[in-house]
Structure 1
């Protein structure tokens, strides 16, 4: 895990890769809870028998469930100290290049794509985050995550 304690350290890190992080298990109970929370009960996520005969041969996680894991997965990649404000500012681009099978563990890595001062003491940081199921050839989610941070002093 990388620690940043100043704006200058973040500015100097553009182009750096963070991670990979620790594996995070995606259990069917999490998929069910997400389906219930979002009212998205599509069979490909929940019906074991039907999904086994479907295009992926198994149940898969919702793409938006995978995306919603960004905070916890990114929390294992870096830490900010001396921060007086940290907010999720949004996303620029999101893609789901491959399915995430139930029972898989995912690993995240991120590239610090852009760091831009937006006002006095506030930096906008864009990170391109890849979430990949262990053993998969390509990521199940790639997202440009945008955050805004200010450091004390």
Structure 2
């Protein structure tokens, strides 16, 4: 969805924005995230050891999956004339199931609310459910709060 101005967002509260494209979470991405963040736990970065573990293989970091949400929203929702978009944070984050390395994920996004704030900002809350391509149920569910100006 592409809006001409941010004030067009308010009447769209409650609207589903649909699903994003699928994104592969491969071992290189997961290992790189672990290296960057210092979370190199074997369930994420050691395929041999993880094969004998509880998940039968390596799994993506929950925080890696969560970090994909701003890009997922941006794929489905843009506003012309916005000079700045800030990530205010997350709400109601739930890690519901592990994401196996090699799986593809996508976000299903809904605009929850759009409210004007101080200094010319608008606060938009998006609810994102992250699906894994080879299973029913969700891997993650969270609200993403963005500030637009």
Q: 1:149 maps to what in 2?
A: 148
RMSD: 1.4
**What is the total number of aligned residue pairs between the two structures?**
149
- In structure 1, stretches of 5+ residues that fail to align are none
Q: Distance in 2 between matches of 1:17 and 1:56?
A: 32
SS in 2 for 1:61: coil
TM-score (norm: length of structure 1):
0.90
Kept after mapping to 2: 8 A contact 1:133/1:140: yes
Hey, what does 2:47 align to over in structure 1? 48
8 Å Cα contact 2:106/2:132 also seen in 1: yes
CA displacement at 1:50 relative to structure 2: 2.2
TM-score normalised to the size of structure 2?
A: 0.92
- Say whether residues 1:126 and 2:141 are aligned partners: no
The structure 1 segments of at least 4 consecutive aligned residues displaced by more than 3 Å after TM superposition are none
Structure 1 Cα separation of the partners of residues 7 and 95 of structure 2: 33
The answer on 1:19 being equivalent to 2:18 is: yes
Provide the C-alpha distance between the structure 1 equivalents of 2:98 and 2:145, rounded to a whole number of angstroms: 24
Instruction: Quote the offset at 1:93 in angstroms.
Output: 2.3
* Structure 2 Cα separation of the partners of residues 29 and 7 of structure 1: 37
CA separation in 2, counterparts of 1:43 and 1:120? 46
Query: 1:70 offset after TM fit, Å?
Result: 1.6
The answer for unaligned runs of 5 or more in structure 2 is none
Residue of structure 1 equivalent to 2:86: 87
8 Å Cα contact 1:25/1:105 also seen in 2? yes
In structure 1, C-alpha distance between the alignment counterparts of 2:77 and 2:115, rounded to whole Å? 18
Higher helix share: 2
Which residue is 2:73 aligned to?
Answer: 74
